[in-house]
Amino acid sequence: MNGLFHFFLSYAIIQLSWGYAREFIVLIFIASVIIDIDHIPYILKTKKKLMSEGFGEESRSFMHELPGVLIVTVLCLGLFLVYGVDVARVAAISSLLHYAADFAVGRTRPFWPFSDKVLVSPLGITDKKKRIFLEVTSTIIGGVVFWLLLG
Ligand SMILES: [Zn+2]
């Protein structure tokens, strides 16, 4: 899923669960989007072929797979020890929702770099046009929910 969708999803879940998303909006944005920074080398490598090849499992580093979940969990423990439970909760929920959304609709190598085995979610959409439709509609719906929750 795209960065905007990840941000909207995290904001909505935190706002509906604890009611203080607006207070942590920058942290929510950073924690929900920063995981996708590992796509940059793939984008630079594929360049013009990016639109035809998309973001498959090859576009992810180990930080986008289960080893990354472990590292992010340890980082959130550090945030808890330094800044307290609310900051740690917001960072953990935002980043873990990112992993959950990506695992739910995409192709993944969960044990990379220890295994090359690719898993495809039963919810994963491989047809390009359907995938773009899912990304666009879910992001628009997420944006509307975000806008309503800001009010
Ligand atoms: Zn991602």
pLDDT in tens, 64-114: 999 999 999 999 999 999 999 999 999 999 999 999 999 998 888 999 889
Ligand 1 centroid distance, CA of 102 (Å):
6
Give CA angle at 58 (61, 98), nearest 5°.
Answer: 55
Ligand 1 centroid distance, CA of 31 (Å):
11
Reported confidence tier of residue 151, pLDDT bands at 50, 70, 90: confident
Ligand 1 centroid distance, CA of 63 (Å):
10
DSSP 39-76: GHHHHHHHGGGHHHH-S-GGG--GGGSHHHHHHHHHHH
Percent of the chain predicted with pLDDT > 90? 64
Ligand 1 centroid distance, CA of 38 (Å):
9
With H, G, I as helix, E, B as strand and everything else as coil, classify residue 110: coil
Ligand 1 centroid distance, CA of 81 (Å):
27
With H, G, I as helix, E, B as strand and everything else as coil, classify residue 107: strand
Its pTM stands at 0.89
Ligand 1 centroid distance, CA of 79 (Å):
22
Least confident segment among 14-28, 48-62, 104-118, 125-139: 48-62
Ligand 1 centroid distance, CA of 54 (Å):
12
Q: How many CB atoms lie under 10 A from the CB of residue 148? A: 10
Q: Can you tell me the mean pLDDT for 20-42?
A: 94
Ligand 1 centroid distance, CA of 142 (Å):
16
Rounded Cα distance between 109 and 106, Å, is: 10
Ligand 1 centroid distance, CA of 143 (Å):
18
Ligand 1 centroid distance, CA of 1 (Å):
6
Over 80: is that where the pLDDT of 133 sits? yes
Return the pLDDT at 40.
86
Return the pLDDT at 57.
79
